[in-house]
Amino acid sequence: MDLIFATHNRHKVSEVQAMLPAGIHVRSLSDLGCDEDIPETADTLQGNALQKAQFVHERYHCNCFADDTGLEIDALDGRPGVYSARYAGEGCSFDDNVRKVLAELENVPLEQRTARFRTVVALILDGRTYFFEGKVEGLMTLERHGVEGFGYDPIFLPEGYGQTFAEMDASEKNRISHRGRAMAKMVGFLERL
């Protein structure tokens, strides 16, 4: 089965492909020849995931899925949330976002830096839509640790672990991450079909 992942982010495509069984091949927007930036104007993760999946399905008439992920930091009233990818402004880098979060948390003690990553996946398969959610609780660290992964990985310490996501190898992170949990639900669904 071929599925289009509505993303240009090669890190996410690699992460997801590693989770899927051999019979499911993931292709990106770039593989489709789509270089457009798909709008993400909804105010929820589910809304953004659906918006992206519908865009691909309507234009390319294929089975596809999209995700949206938010980092919700309790000390920041749930920010950056749905704006996680562009928290430091349009066109910002992962590094810009990390710097902004660390600056905003500068005077917040470690024990009050509780946070969670949430991912919602919207799958459109044979014209029907399905949703899958994954979540992981943790803490925002005081400084960066590790060089693996992307995004906020160097400053997110998952609950019950002594390493940030950026200190873990990809297989370990995928096993416990928010995206990994959402994708595992989608994979289980696809296998039952």
Pick the catalytic residue: 2, 68, 95, 126? 68
Q: Decide if 68 is catalytic.
A: yes
The DSSP result for 165-185, as a single string, is GGGS-HHHHHHHSHHHHHHHH
CA 73 to chain CA centroid, Å, is 15
8-state DSSP, 87: T
**Length of the chain in residues, anyone?**
193
SS3 content of the chain, % helix, strand, coil (to 5): 40, 25, 35
Structure tokens at 37: 């930036």
CA 28 to chain CA centroid, Å, is 15
- Which residues belong to the active site? 68
